[in-house]
Amino acid sequence: MRILGIETSCDETAIAVLEVKDKSKPRFRILSNVIASQAKLHAKYGGVYPSLAKREHEKNLPVVLERALKEAGEKTDLAQSVLSPSSHKPAIDAIAITHGPGLDPCLWTGVEFAKDLANKWNVPLVPIDHMEGHLLVGLLQQTNKNDKFQMTNAKTTFPAIALLVSGGHSQLVLMKGIGKYKVIGETRDDAAGECFDKTARVLGLPYPGGPAIAAAAAKIRSTKSEIRIQLPRPMMHTKDYDFSFSGLKTAVLYDYQSRPKKIQKSQEYIRAMAKEIQQAIIDVLIAKTLRAAYEYNAKSIVLGGGVAANRELRRQLRYNIQDTKYPPTGDLPKGDKILVAPPELCTDNGLMPALAGFFNLSKKKHGEALNRIAAKPNLRLN
C-alpha cells in the first residue's frame, strides 16, 4: 500500500509518499519526501510567525503535493493541478495528517487540505501526533537493500526510553512498544530547540538557532581562548525527569550584556558562547536520558525531534553510554542501543506522519470519520 503523509505543524510544508509491503512484517520504501522550508522567511522575526506560516502553507501545499507525487512516479501533469476535479486519482491508499501538537493556524491548513484530498480520492484519513512521528522515524532501520527500511526488532528494543527534543517540546517518553507511550518527564518552560533559537538570537546568529549554534561551536580551533564562560545546567541533578531551559537563556543574556560591545561582536566570544550553550543543553539531556534508561531498565534509547540532528548530542550520547554508570540493559551491541534517524529525517518531514499513519491505520482499520478530525494544538502523547 501507499500512504501520503502531510506535515504542516510549524514552518515546514512537507509531504511524503511511503510504500509499505507485507503488512505483518512491514518493509518500507520512501518514494518521495519533499520539504518546503519557510526558515528564511521567519529568520527576520527570530522565530516562527504563525499567520505568515499559515499563508505559506496554503501557497506551498499544492506545489509540494505535485512534486511528492511526481517523485513517487505518478504521472501528474504540472499544468493541470492534481487538485482539479478532472485529474486522475493517484495510487494512494491512505492519507496521514499531523493534527497536533503545533501552531493552530498551521495545523488547520494541513488538516483542511488533507480532508479535501481524502474526500476527492475516497481514501481513509488518519490523524497523527507529531511527536509519535518523530519517535517512529528513529526506529526505522535500513535493510541490506539500500532503499528499503524495516522497524527495529521489538524484542531487543522495548522497553525504550525516547528523548524527543524539538522547537516546541522536550520530553522523555517510556515506550513499551509501538503505540504504547508514557511521558515520564518534560520541560517546564522552554523546549531545548527553543533555547537554541532564543540564545542564537541574543548572539545575533540566524534562525533556526540550533544549526547556527552548532556551526559556530564547531569553528573553535584553539583551546587557549581568553574567554571563559560557565553556564548553569538547569535541573540536571533533580530526581524527576523534567527539564527547564529558560534559566539558561537568561544566563546567556546576562553574560552577553556584561561584556563590552567589542567582545560581544567578536567571533571568539560568539563561538565560545555557542559551544557552552550547546554543551549545557547536551549535558542536561544526556544525564536525564541515561538515568531514565537505567531506572526503567530500557533496552534502547530513541532520539527524535529537530535537536536530535545535533551531531555533538548524537556523538556524546553514544560515547557516554559506553562507560556510564547508567548503561541500558539488554544484549544489543553497544552502538545499536541508540536509535536515531539520519539528521535530515530528525527535523520535520512528511515521512513522520506517513510512517505513524501506517501503524495507526492498521490499529483503526479505516481511519476516522472526516468530520471528526480536527487540529489539536495541545495534543499530548500518551
Binding of ligand KG4 by 289 (CB under 6 A)? no
Which of Zn ion, ligand KG4, none binds 208 (CB below 5-8 Å, type-dependent)? ligand KG4
For the CB of residue 211, give the shortest distance to ligand KG4 in the complex, in Å. 4
The interface region with ligand KG4, picked from 54-62, 70-78, 206-214, 218-226 by CB under 6 A, is 206-214
For the CB of residue 68, give the shortest distance to ligand KG4 in the complex, in Å. 18
CA distance 46 to 307: 17
Binding of ligand KG4 by 90 (CB under 6 A)? no
Considering only residues 155-184, where is the footprint of ligand KG4 by CB under 6 A?
A: 166-168
Cα dist from 315 to 216, 286, 372, whole Å: 17, 11, 43
Among the listed residues 159, 185, 209, 353, the single contact to ligand KG4 using CB under 6 A: 209
Start-to-end C-alpha separation, the chain: 27
Binding of ligand KG4 by 56 (CB under 6 A)? no
Type and span of the H or E element at 185: strand 180-186
Peptide bond between residue 208 and the one before it cis (omega within 30 degrees of 0): yes
* Polymer length in residues for the chain: 382
Considering only residues 292-321, where is the footprint of ligand KG4 by CB under 6 A?
A: 305-307, 309-310
| DSSP letters spanning 66-120 | HHHHHHTT----TTS-TTSTTSPPPS--EEEEEEESS-HHHHHHHHHHHHHHHHH
Nearer to ligand KG4, 60 or 347 (CB): 347
Among the listed residues 108, 113, 196, 296, the single contact to ligand KG4 using CB under 6 A: 196
Nearer to Zn ion, 90 or 167 (CB): 167
Binding of ligand KG4 by 185 (CB under 6 A)? no
Nearest to 1 by CA among 90, 93, 89, 78: 93
Count of residues touching ligand KG4 (by CB under 6 A): 19
CA distance 270 to 274: 6
Residues lying near Zn ion in the complex (CB under 5 A) are found at 166, 348
Convert residues 336-365 into a mask of x (bound to ligand KG4 by CB under 6 A) and - (unbound). -----------xx-----------------
| DSSP letters spanning 235-249 | TTT-SSS-B--HHHH
Which of ligand KG4, Zn ion, none binds 353 (CB below 5-8 Å, type-dependent)? none
Q: Between vectors from CA 358 to CA 356 and to CA 359, what angle results, nearest 5°?
A: 70
Q: Which residues bind ligand KG4 (CB under 6 A)?
A: 10, 166-168, 193, 196-197, 208-211, 214, 305-307, 309-310, 347-348
